[in-house]
């Protein structure tokens, strides 16, 4: 037990693993030891993720969408002002950031708030009693919370769980003013197939989740495909587009680890092959 404890608390990153990844022929992505995580232990990195049991614990019927879709599409290119990248810190709140983020994105894309309004992930972390705060959450339950309860804005309730503390559900905004809640109209699991996801992305960003293996923690750029390592946990993110790079089809995805991880806070992952389960469940948040 002592050996396991020491291993988990030791620095996760290894130059030998980095060199092994770099030596893989025709690797479609560029690995690095991310400067922001270079001294992190596996325990610290796991704190940002979900137990896999949370990720796909609930299911709902698939919605098959169809549309004439272009070869490539990106909300980051079309509506960069709507694509905010947040830092979740050492809290397993990715479920809250991916769901509140997609809600914020889609209200911005559809022009419902005038200018970009970020809705509060902290409100979900502390107040969504069907989920487990910094321990983790489920995207369907999170979407149900936004539909039934609604969200306050980040300006009302700022993020406070960076250090893995869920916190009690507050009764008012940070400045003492009353909550004003904004709800979604509904949501749909659009992961019926690749074309359905592409069609959904024409309407807005799409919340999804995937299995994180050790090698993803070395990601810098390019189209990620799993090559090495054990499962570290599950992770909630938001698809913002799709395309093809050097002959490899990809989904463009926003992370919640700040702009200093991956491609300025985004990453690309192989499309059409359910890479790491990224096409298992995809929630389109309906805002009007």
Digit-coded pLDDT (tens) for 264-279: 999 999 999 999 999 9
Tell me which CATH code domain 30-286 carries: 3.90.70.10
Average pLDDT of the segment spanning 176-197: 98
DSSP, res 101: H
The residue among 235, 231, 281 whose CA lies nearest residue 262 is 235
Per-residue pLDDT of 208-231, as tens digits, reads 999 999 999 999 999 999 999 999
Q: Per-residue pLDDT for 2 more than 70?
A: no
Per-residue pLDDT of 118-155, as tens digits, reads 999 999 999 999 999 999 999 999 999 999 999 999 99
Run of H or E residues at 210: strand 206-213
Q: Using 50, 70 and 90 to split pLDDT, how confident is the model at 257?
A: very high
* pLDDT of res. 114: 83
Q: What residues are paired with 238 via a beta bridge? A: 254
Mean pLDDT, the chain, whole residue set: 95
Residues 127 and 105: their CA atoms lie apart, in Å, by 21
* pLDDT of res. 9: 65
Catalytic sites, residue numbers: 94, 235, 255
Residues 210 and 206: their CA atoms lie apart, in Å, by 13
Q: Is the pTM of this model over 0.85?
A: yes
Q: Using 50, 70 and 90 to split pLDDT, how confident is the model at 53?
A: confident
* pLDDT of res. 1: 45
* pLDDT of res. 4: 43
Which distant-in-sequence residues (6+ apart) come within 8 Å of 28 by Cβ? 222, 223, 224, 225, 245, 246, 248, 270
């Amino acid at each position: 037990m002592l050996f396991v404890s020491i291993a988990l608390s030791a620095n996760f990153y290894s130059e030998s693993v980095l060199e092994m990844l770099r030596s893989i022929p025709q690797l479609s992505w560029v690995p690095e030891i991310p400067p922001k995580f270079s001294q992190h232990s596996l325990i610290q990195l796991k704190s940002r993720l979900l137990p896999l049991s949370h990720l796909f614990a609930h299911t709902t019927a698939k919605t098959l969408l169809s549309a004439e879709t272009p070869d490539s599409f990106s909300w980051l290119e079309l509506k960069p002002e709507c694509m905010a990248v947040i830092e979740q810190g050492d809290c397993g709140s990715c479920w809250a950031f991916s769901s509140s983020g997609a809600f914020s994105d889609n209200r911005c894309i559809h022009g419902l708030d005038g200018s970009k309004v970020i809705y509060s992930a902290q409100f979900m972390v502390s107040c969504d009693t069907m989920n487990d705060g910094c321990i983790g959450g489920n995207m369907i339950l999170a979407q149900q919370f936004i539909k039934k309860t609604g969200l306050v804005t980040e300006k009302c309730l700022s993020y406070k769980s960076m250090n893995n503390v869920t916190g009690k559900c507050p009764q008012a905004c940070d400045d003492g003013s009353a909550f004003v809640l904004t709800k979604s109209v509904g949501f749909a699991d659009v992961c019926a197939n690749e074309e359905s996801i592409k069609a959904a992305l024409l309407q807005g960003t799409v919340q999804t989740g995937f299995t994180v293996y050790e090698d993803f923690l070395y990601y810098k750029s390019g189209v990620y495909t799993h090559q090495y390592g054990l499962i570290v946990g599950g992770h909630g993110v938001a698809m913002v587009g799709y395309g093809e790079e050097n002959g490899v089809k990809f989904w463009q995805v926003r992370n919640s680890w700040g702009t200093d991880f991956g491609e300025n806070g985004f990453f690309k992952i192989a499309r059409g092959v359910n890479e790491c389960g990224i096409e298992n469940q995809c929630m389109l948040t309906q805002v009007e």
